[in-house]
Amino acid sequence: MKLHRNLVFAAVDALDLIFNERNQADKVLKKVLKHDKRWGARDRSFIAETVYDIVRWKRLYSEIAEVKEPYSRPNLFRLFAVWATLRGIEIPDWKQIEPVPTRRIKGRFDELSKIRKFKESIPDWLDELGRAALKDTWDKELAALNAQAPVVLRANSLRTSPKNLRAVLAEQDIDTIIPEGYPDALQLVERKNVFTSKAFKDGFFEVQDASSQRVARFLDVAPGMRVVDMCAGTGGKTLHLAALMENKGQIIAMDIYEGKLKELKRRAKRAGAHNIETRVIESSKSYKKLYEKADRVLIDAPCTGLGTIKRNPDLKWKLQPDFVEKVIERQADLLEKYSKLVKASGKLVYATCSILPRENEIQIQEFLKTTQGKQFKLDKQETISPYKTGYDGFYMALLSRKQN
């Protein structure tokens, strides 16, 4: 494989923005990949995969390269040289890259791969937290979380079916498989930019992880219901709910971020979802008028996001111990407040994209002990394992409000 200077430099620029400026990896890549219009799909793929790999294995590569944050530009080139060497790529004779001790790099890799925190490239505190929470399954989950995430689409049933979508995409040179057990999903055989496809522009699908696609179905909605999505964000699950409800009934999508709801409106228009109304949460007044009025309530709670590390590898370096405690408190507060929207005999789904029991089943156990929680019963709960499924880690609990 021949390395091209402009692509390597673009990757190093992106790493500088992610590591030193603390910018979000996906947003940095979106910006960097627009830098040169002459880059083809293969060029963009090289930059994206190189950057994500180095972000994912930052601790391991830093240890091998003997560099520490904040990274100077020569340090970033050293990280790149480690990445390339471990992939058997010949390093060009550029002045930016120091002479590379190939044998020493491979020797250090073999040595460090015997120690989990280096092998899986994870901060000490997060490794200890995961091990304490998940015991022997932590090793398997961690390895799965460090694998590259597959690209999964959700066929929009308001426009098409998975079978038809598969045929349409095949005509556009995008090959997919239908994963078993996911009624709306298609998985790409090879990573491609699906956002430029006509099928995407026509609202035939959204990109949504297979585990995430299970949340809306877990809520057990039906056409004609009033459903409130309390942490709607940009609307991945909201749009799925609209499709499951066949555009009948009402979905009230709420969030504290107006910008996210604007993006939801844009996506809803493309998807042909007409039963969604967006509302910004400015204070408790924004939702108190809905107390005991909803057939279904979805709380897709803010969380550590630990189950999504395979698609957000920079999360490993951004998470901090104090955030874990704060987010657990926030989840409990939202459960207390937003469960009041559920009417008698109505249902609530609490979901996170975390695999930590304290954010999940323990959080629900604690809620059910509170005065508010005693009005509910737990119908079922499910933890989705990245190791067992190959997709994101998720948790879902379905609660029913008791009759008054």
* 303 catalytically annotated: no
Q: 97-112 in b/e burial notation, b at 16+ Cβ within 10 A?
A: beebeeeebeebbeeb
Cβ(140)–Cβ(163) below 8 Å: no
- Residue of 144, 216, 324, 353 marked catalytic: 353
Strands (E) located in 169-328: 176-177, 185-188, 205-207, 226-229, 250-255, 276-280, 294-300
What torsion do the CA atoms of 240, 241, 246, 247 make, to the nearest 10 degrees? -100
Q: Tell me the two tokens of residue 91.
A: 């390093």
Q: Which amino acid is at 11?
A: A
- β-pair type (250-255, 294-300): unpaired
Cβ-Cβ contacts under 8 Å for 381 (sequence gap 6 or more): 360, 361, 364, 395, 396, 397, 398
Verify cis geometry, omega within 30 degrees of 0, for the bond prior to 313. Answer: no
- Give the whole-angstrom CA distance, residue 397 versus residue 368: 12
| Catalytic positions, written as ranges | 353
